[in-house]
Chain A
Amino acid sequence: MTAGKTRRAGAQVAERIAFALIWTSALATLAVLAFIVLYILDLGLPHVSWRFLTSAPEEMGREGGILPTIIGTIVLTLGAVAIAAPLGIGAAVFLTEYTWESPVTRAIRFGAEALAGVPSIIFGLFGFIFFVTYLKMGWSILSGSLTLAIMILPTIIRTAEEAIRTVPNPYRDVSFGLGATRWQMVTSVVLPNALPGIITGIILAIGRSVGETAAVIFTAGTALNMPTSLVSPLRTMAVHFYILAIEGISLEKAYATGAILIITTLTVNVLANWLIVRAVRRHRRKS
């Protein structure tokens, strides 16, 4: 009886300690994130102006704005998503709807997982060797987008596959039962219901592309000119930030660019979170 009580008291103490520790780690994580964001914003935002956002850089970026790097970031990212999204969703549909589990699907999935763990500089090196030099695309939007596409492909495949797996199987039975072909079933029932999850994955991939430097420097170059065609070299905001800071060109401009970059990635992530929450809510209402 007494022993039991003591044990219970002990368990309660452990519970309190665990509670405190877990709260501390959660707060610490949040604090680090808040510190970094606020620090950069504090240093950068005072130098951000409308003109900064809408004019071209002068003197290597010491003066002027960052318009070409904003455009460069958007174009490169859209290019990467435009290549990776159809491929990734297609692969996910293939893995979930068109084959049984087998050594082949396991190999594909393992490949995607392995690809996800590769450091981005390796993708940069591969892109440089394969796209830039071997295929003679040079430092260009094309090389950069293709490289980023390979880099974000695993994320898109995995999130799309997970989203597709959450679509209830009875929907498939009903669709087939009503005389749908497999493709009709996929497009009319599976993809519309998996869409929020798929979009979330794409947005996470966008976030990764926007913030990438190593893979981009090697494949899209660092040119400060406004890109004019698919084979133009360009510079993204992340690369611009890196070069301004590392070469000591202008810390003020670097932080201003960093502030815009952080605002962009945060917006993208908040958007992704909002979509996840909305998708989960919709799913709950259904069941």
Chain B
Amino acid sequence: MTTAPISAPAMERANGNTKLEVCDFSAFYGNEEVLRGINLPVPRNEILAVFGPAGGGKTTLLRSMNRLVDNTRGAHHRGRILLDGKDVFAPDVDVVNLRRRVGMIFALPVPLPMNVYDNIAYGPRMSGGRDRKSLDEAVERSLQRAAMWEEMKDRLEESALHLSGGQQQRLSIARVLAMEPEVILLDEPTAALAPVSTMKIEQMLTDLKRQCTIVIVPHSIQQAARLADHAAFILMGELVEYRPGNELFTAPSDRRTEEYITGRFG
């Protein structure tokens, strides 16, 4: 059922189109296997939507890609996740550097309890940025890319906790952009937001894929269909189907995918 699309990565890697590739990857918390033998290429400068019912392992997959799982007790894995062909779990990989290349946005907006400027300058400062002028530039550039420079430029000294939910989430994206990441992971980034904010963020992601590769766990099937260049349906730890978005959502090849996207379960 998944043979045709899964054979694609080899071809895509050959012409350098695969940014991130999940290879025969299984993830465990203690003895519980939450992901089973996932194979999933993420084409460069595309949006990959990873969707499926809750508890299926989507978040674990994202948190494995930037190794935030390292901080979860009892988490371990089998298989590999290749970033530009190099396993992110390899012993010589600097995890701090990995996370600078692979940024992450969470379901609930998490402004750090500091002002707008310091939130965005956080990443650059952590990697040693001290020079005020280049920090200023990074803050402005990131806010501009997140399409919120105009509304934020006079509020940089304001606490980020006072922003609206939608603004906080776009700020979180700007904060990740300040690190100039190559890949951006988003775990249901619009789950807590109003439709207008959701629209802004979707627009932003579509613009961003020119510079970055994006993996998103969408908060609805409609959102997956709107955004996905490729889509992966994950059900109880297994990859059921991986295909270009326009094919998967119009003509799913697996019965379970079809049942899920037509709302028969989940």
Contact = CB atoms under 8 A, between A and B. Distances in A.
B179 interface: yes
Interface string B82-118: 0000000000000011011001101010101100000
Question: From DSSP, what is the main secondary structure of chain B's interface residues?
Answer: helix
Contacts of A21: none
Contact of A178 (B108, B113, B161, B179): B179
A181 B125 CA distance: 12
Given A174-B106, A176-B99, A178-B99, A188 B126 contact: yes
- Interface size band for A: 20 to 34
Interface string A178-194: 11110010001100110
A181 B96 contact: yes
A170 interface: yes
A184 B126 contact: yes
Contacts, number: 65
A207 B196 CA distance: 54
Interface residues of B, number: 25
Given A177-B66, A178-B122, A179-B96, A286 B113 contact: yes
B127 A179 contact: yes
B123 interface: yes
Contacts of B127: 179
B139 to A, nearest CB: 14
B102 to A, nearest CB: 9
Contact of A173 (B73, B97, B110, B175): B110
A188 B161 contact: no
Interface string A231-258: 0000000000000000000000000000
Given A100-B73, A188-B122, A179 B106 contact: no
A153 B66 CA distance: 38
Interface of A, helix, strand, loop or mixed by DSSP = helix
Contact of B112 (A175, A179, A181): A175
B68 A170 contact: no
B71 interface: yes
Given A171-B110, A189-B112, A177 B104 contact: yes
B126 A180 contact: yes
Contact of A193 (B66, B104, B113, B122): B113
A172 interface: yes
A285 interface: yes
A174 B96 contact: no
A175 B114 CA distance: 13
Contact of B97 (A100, A168, A179, A286): A179
B176 interface: yes
Interface string A155-181: 000000000000010111111111111
Given A177-B66, A177-B104, A179-B179, A171 B126 contact: no
Nearest to A179: B100
Contacts of A286: 113, 161
Interface of B: 66, 68, 71, 73, 96-97, 99-100, 103-104, 106, 108, 110, 112-113, 122-123, 125-127, 161, 172, 175-176, 179
14 contacts: A100-B73, A170-B108, A171-B110, A173-B106, A174-B106, A175-B126, A177-B66, A177-B99, A178-B126, A178-B176, A178-B179, A179-B123, A188-B122, A193-B113
